[in-house]
Structure formats: C-alpha cells, structure tokens
C-alpha cells in the first residue's frame, strides 16, 4: 500500500493505525457522497493532513444518515458539505 498511487478507504478506516504512514503524503483526499455522512465522520481523514480536499455530493439528494431524533434536532445530522455551502463556500455543479 505504501507504493500505491491511489488508496481507497472508508472515512472511519482513514483514521486507523494502518493508515498512519500516509500522513503528510496525500495529495488529494476525495470524499464521495459527502452529503450523506455526518460532519465528524467526514473530518476523520483530515488527520492524514491531505494537501487538497474534494467533497463530492448533492445536498439536494439524500441527507446525512442519522437515526437519533435528538441528534437531528440539535443539528448533528448536518454534513460538512452542507456546513460549507451554508457558509458561502463556492460549489461547482456538474452540468452533464
């Protein structure tokens, strides 16, 4: 894995011991379906200190997956993608 050009992992596994050797060696972190994960989960791979981050998703489709009513009511169900958009961060929508 140390010689791979591309490494695929889940958000949670990105924070595991087996990935620590990649810290400061990631050029691009791409989070697919970034609107379907809660914000803390999306932040886990940031511990690898990537050079650039690309969040891919559509905030108009499925929301972050959460089952707790209390978490939903307190705003815990919001994704990092949504937070960035709500705060004016620029987004690019695909046209094709």
Instruction: For 68-80, write each residue's pLDDT tens digit.
Output: 889 888 888 888 9
For the cut 80, the answer to whether the pLDDT of residue 65 exceeds it is no
Q: For residues 59 and 34, is the Cβ–Cβ distance under 8 A?
A: no
Residue 2 counted as domain residue = no
Distance from C-alpha of 42 to C-alpha of 11, rounded to nearest angstrom: 6
Residue 5 counted as domain residue = no
Residue-range definition of the domain harbouring residue 74: 13-86
Instruction: For 20-55, write each residue's pLDDT tens digit.
Output: 999 999 999 999 999 889 999 999 999 999 999 999
Q: What is the pLDDT at residue 50? A: 96
77 φψ region: left (φ > 0), alpha (ψ -120 to 50), beta (else): alpha
Residue 4 counted as domain residue = no
Counting the structural domains of the chain, the total is: 1
Strand partners, 55: 31
Q: Choose between 38 and 65: higher pLDDT.
A: 38
Up-side HSE of residue 28: CA atoms within 13 Å toward CB? 9
């Amino acid at each position: 894995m140390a010689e791979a050009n591309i490494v695929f992992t889940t958000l949670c596994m990105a924070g595991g011991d087996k990935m620590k050797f990649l810290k400061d060696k990631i050029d691009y972190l791409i989070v697919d379906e970034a609107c379907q994960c809660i914000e803390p989960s999306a932040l886990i791979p940031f511990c690898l200190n990537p050079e650039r981050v690309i969040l891919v998703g559509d905030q108009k489709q499925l929301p972050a997956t959460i089952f707790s009513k209390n978490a939903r009511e307190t705003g815990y169900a919001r994704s990092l993608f949504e937070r960035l958009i709500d705060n004016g961060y620029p987004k690019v929508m695909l046209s094709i």
